[in-house]
Amino acid sequence: MKIADIVIDVVRGDSPRVWPRVNRFKGTEPAWGMFLRVVADDGTEGHRMVWAAPTMDKGYSRYRAYALASHILGLIKRELVGRDAADREWLWSQRYIYQWWGHIEHRSIAAVDEALWDLAGKLANMPVYKLLGAARHKAPVYASCPYLKEVEQIADLCRQSKALGYPAFKIKPGGGPVCRIKAVTRLCREAAGGEMALMIDGQMQFDLTQALDIGRHLQDLDYTWWEDPVPHDRLEWYDELSRRLSIPIAYTDHRFVRFSEMAEVLRQHPGIRIVRGDTMRDGVTGLKKLCALAEAYGRNCEIHAESPGNLHVLMSVTNCDFWESTLHGVYDPATNKMGRHPQGHPFRVDEEGFIHALQTPGLGPFHDAERIAAERVERLE
């Protein structure tokens, strides 16, 4: 089966995410994205929806969407059209050439990779995780708290997550000071009790002294991991934290730390026990490789955020303990209340705190054709 065409619908609407620290940038303009269609010569299509940026002023989100589209249509398309639809490893092998010569952003390459996997699953009439090799059919979930100003709100959301059956909860406090971090982590432990796993994402906002202070506090509260405590490029600080703390240090979901950089981290920094990855950076192909590499070094790769490709890779590996639920669609910021997706929703978490593998061909039923048609601004070919 050959690739006959690549087409992109530019769309304008509400981004399907709880965007981090959005209040710093939030504007009046809607979010923009691109709906990617990779078309085989029998008419079968592989899809991937990519939202370009948070809702912002001054056209930022729109410019990003068109930039991503131009990367795909301006260079990748000319080399993929006419190739075998199974040439995903060939695309992976070209990533450095594209980035060096074409200045192509990694998200563009990752989006095409995911669309190719969606196409492969549809052609084989199988869900992608079974093509990758199924390791399980459900996985435990942690509720990933949005950025909230008041520590009592965060603790209340932790309490609600426990009541809904989530086995774990992650705090994203959005910055210090250290006394605030200690207060919110203590309140969440009180809300969670002793059995619920708790994590915290520092978003790389602390120095070494602060991170050590917080880490000792987290150890006393029996937290499961301390994620991104310091800037991603201060690996000597990560080594020091790993030597002086018993709590596992998780490194990092920074968008510019990708497969090759993670390979060096795994090789040179054995104290880091958890790495983070996602398909938004490296596609299904790259994330599967990263999980395998982490497994070889005896480390976990905890997959970052919700995406269709992430869910399928999760079900194909054993060294990722949790699915991260960003709570989009189940959390109401106006009331600080959370609920549950309806039956049949691809990201539904059941009453026991598990997410289940999708059984539809390809990546799954993530795209609303009517909504995309209503929000489409133009089609690019």
Q: What is the pLDDT of residues 332-365, one digit of tens each?
A: 988 999 999 999 999 999 999 999 999 999 999 9
Q: How far apart are CA 223 and CA 178, in angstroms?
A: 16
Q: What is the pLDDT of residue 20?
A: 43
b/e map 214-233, b = 16+ CB within 10 Å: bbebbeebebbbbbbbbbbe
Q: How far apart are CA 121 and CA 205, in angstroms?
A: 40
How do 337-338 and 331-332 pair as beta strands? antiparallel
Q: What is the pLDDT of residue 175?
A: 84
The CATH architecture to which 3-125+369-380 belongs is 2-Layer Sandwich (3.30)
Q: What is the pLDDT of residue 141?
A: 98
Contact 55, 61 (CB under 8 A): yes
Q: Please name the residue that has the structure tokens 């982590």.
A: 185
Mapped onto helix, strand or coil, the DSSP state of residue 87 is coil
Domain boundaries, the chain: 3-125+369-380, 131-356
User: Could you please report the per-residue DSSP string of 253-315?
Assistant: --TT--HHHHHHHHHH-TT--EEEE-HHHHHHHHHHHHHHHHHHTT-EEEEPS--HHHHHHHT
Grade residue 230 by pLDDT with cuts at 50, 70 and 90.
very high
- Whole-angstrom CA distances from 118 to 40, 64, 283, 368, 376 are 12, 24, 11, 15, 21
pLDDT digits (tens, 9 = 90+) for 201-224: 999 999 999 999 999 999 999 999
Grade residue 167 by pLDDT with cuts at 50, 70 and 90.
very high
Residue 147 has pLDDT above 90, yes or no: no
Say whether 131-356 and 3-125+369-380 share the same fold: no
The CATH architecture to which 131-356 belongs is Alpha-Beta Barrel (3.20)
Mapped onto helix, strand or coil, the DSSP state of residue 231 is coil
